[in-house]
Homo-oligomer: A and B are copies of this chain.
Amino acid sequence: MEKEKLIPDTSIFTNPDVYRQFGEEPHLAFQTFLLLVAELEGEVGVYLPTSVFEELKRMLPQLKLPPRARSVLKVKSPKKYELYIPAFLMYEFIEEIRNRINKGLRVAEEAVKALSYKKPEEVLKSLRRKYREVLREGIVDSKEDLEIILLALELDGVVLSADRGVLQMADTLGLRFWEPKEIKETLEGFKVW
């Protein structure tokens, strides 16, 4: 029986502050993570929604998993046509998005005004950065993010992510998560003596 089901997103293996606890490069970090889990002999399971695994393979083209690592990786999407989520989550999400959409318009207006004293290329560059910051950072904004959350709900699993939006939604739903920089240490606590 698995004591914990871990559901990592891609940020764990692409954010250098996080993946370096496992290895020098993203693809090696993912491999090492799985091999560590394999050593725990079934105490801990690793689950990846198909969409997240596909994303990870795109991001880590050098990825090649040894059989032992592959044996502990369970690729499984959430049953999104059977799962239900609390209505207040959608409620909070719409409020948050609405605020961000308003801020996005302010950013665009400022860009137009900045053209009177800045070069167009500079303005466009800073527009793209600020718009992204305002509209995308710190919220669940992709189906991959949401699938992590839904799979954790379905399996009563632990969310592993370095993305603030994902961790926040997991917490709002009462899901468990691990401190992203302490995943390796925490895993070691599951060793069978």
Contact = CB atoms under 8 A, between A and B. Distances in A.
Nearest to A123: B112
Interface stretch (A11-19, A140-148, A174-182): A140-148
Interface stretch (A53-61, A64-72, A85-93): A85-93
B131 A120 contact: no
A51 to B, nearest CB: 11
Interface residues of A, number: 45
Given A112-B112, A120-B113, A97 B131 contact: no
Interface in A75-92: 78, 80-81, 83-91
Given A105-B128, A112-B112, A135-B101, A80 B88 contact: yes
26 contacts: A80-B87, A85-B85, A85-B86, A85-B87, A85-B90, A87-B150, A87-B153, A90-B90, A90-B93, A91-B146, A94-B141, A94-B142, A98-B141, A101-B136, A104-B104, A104-B131, A104-B135, A105-B128, A105-B132, A108-B127, A109-B127, A112-B112, A112-B115, A112-B123, A113-B120, A115-B115
Given A91-B143, A95-B143, A116-B120, 6 more contacts: A87-B153, A97-B97, A98-B142, A101-B104, A108-B108, A108-B131
